[in-house]
Amino acid sequence: MKGLFIRWTVTFAAIGIAIAWAFFPQIRSVAADWYSGNAGMPTLQDSDLANIRNIKFLGRDQIITDVRVSDLRVVAAAPGFATIAMTLASSEPTALYPSLRIYLQANHRTVRTLVIGPGDYEHQTSLGNELVKVSIRLQPGETGFTASAFYDAGGV
């Protein structure tokens, strides 16, 4: 009976060691999450690391947040020229302003895209909820537009 107990104990110990050895990276990852309290937080995989070309450290006042564009409207128009206004709303106050992508439309189709950097439009020092105005040149047939905000790789 004692020999049977030792045999089963050694068998289960060997299986446990083999499983731990085979799945060590996954076990280490889960254990690190439990230990650090960051369970469920997004992490980079090894395949993601190969695509990183540049790292930029930002100050605490330059938090990259979720920015939404709303209330698009034309505030001034002339032949070949328009000033458009839009409200930028940030999920958290930040000093880092996004670039704007303006999609110009003709016949309900996007025909041209303009990218306007944060240095090319007037804004305050901190983004929370702000109305910004952008002047653009229009080409013949462009009658509508939409816009989105994004943080580019270079940042400001």
Which helix (H) or strand (E) covers residue 54, if one does? Answer: none
CA-closest candidate to residue 68, choices 86, 89, 84: 89
Give the pLDDT confidence score for residue 153 in this predicted structure: 59
Query: Structure tokens of 53?
Result: 């070309």
Give the pLDDT confidence score for residue 44 in this predicted structure: 72
Query: Structure tokens of 61?
Result: 């006042």
**CB-based burial, 39-55: b 16+ in 10 Å, e otherwise:** eeeeeeeeeeeeeeeee
DSSP 3-state assignment of 121? coil
Give the pLDDT confidence score for residue 41 in this predicted structure: 62
C-alpha torsion sign, points 86, 89, 90, 95: positive
Q: What residue type is 138 in one-letter code?
A: L
Give the pLDDT confidence score for residue 21 in this predicted structure: 82
Maximum pairwise Cα distance, the chain: 98
Query: Which CATH number fits the domain 67-150, given the four candidates 2.40.160, 1.20.120, 2.60.40, 1.10.8?
Result: 2.60.40
Measured at the alpha carbon of residue 125, what is the angle toward residues 54 and 58, in degrees to the nearest 5?
A: 25
Query: Structure tokens of 147?
Result: 């816009």
Task: Please state the domain extents for the chain.
Answer: 2-49, 67-150
Give the pLDDT confidence score for residue 156 in this predicted structure: 47
Distance, CA of 130 to CA of 149 (rounded, Å): 13
One pLDDT digit (tens) per residue for the chain, 156 residues: 778 888 899 999 999 888 888 887 777 777 766 666 555 666 677 777 778 888 777 776 666 778 899 999 999 988 889 999 999 998 888 888 899 999 999 888 899 999 999 989 998 988 889 999 999 999 988 888 999 998 875 544
Measured at the alpha carbon of residue 90, what is the angle toward residues 85 and 94, in degrees to the nearest 5?
A: 110
